[in-house]
Structure 1
Amino acid sequence: MGAEKTVRDLLAMCGVEVNGKNPWDIEVVDERFYTRAVAQGSLGMGESFMDGWWRSPQLDEFFNKVVGAHLSSKAPFNFKTAWLVLVSKLQNRQNMKRSFIAADVHYDLPVEIFEATFDKRLTGSCGYWKEATDLDACQDAKLDLICRKIGLKPGQTVFDIGCGWGAFMGFAAEKYGARCEGVTVSKEQVAYAMGRYANLPVKSTLMDYRNATGGPYDHLVSMGMFEHVGDKNYRTYFETARRLIKEDGLFCLHTIWGNEPDPKIDPWLDKYIFPNGVLPTVGQVTSAVHGLFVVEDVHNFGAYYDKTLMAWNDKFQSNRAPLAQKYGERFCRMWEYYLLCCAGGFRSRVISVGQFVLSPRGVPGVYETVR
Structure 2
Amino acid sequence: MTGEKILIVDDEPNNFDIIEAQLLREKYELSYASSGIKALQRLPLFQPDVILLDVMMPDMDGVEVCQKIKSDPLWSHIPIVAVTALNSKQDMARCLEGGADDFISKPVGGIELRARIRSMLRIKQQYDTLQKQRDALAEMLKLREEMSHMIVHDLRNPIACIIFAGELLKEENTLSELNQKKVERIVNCGHRLQALTNDLLVMAKLESGHLVLHRNTINFCQLAHQTIVDFEPIASQKKIILVPEIPLTRKAVDLDANLFRRVLDNLLSNAIKFSPNNSVVRLRVEYPKNGPIQVRVRISDQGHGVSKELQEIIFQKYAVGSLVEGIEQIGLGLAFCKMIVEAHGGQIFVEDNQPKGATFILEI
Scaled to the shorter chain, the TM-score interval is under 0.3
User: Which structure exhibits the higher relative contact order, with contacts defined as CA atoms closer than 8 Å and separated by 6 or more residues?
Assistant: 1
TM-score, with structure 2 as normaliser: 0.20
TM-score, with structure 1 as normaliser: 0.19
Which one has a bigger Cα radius of gyration? 2
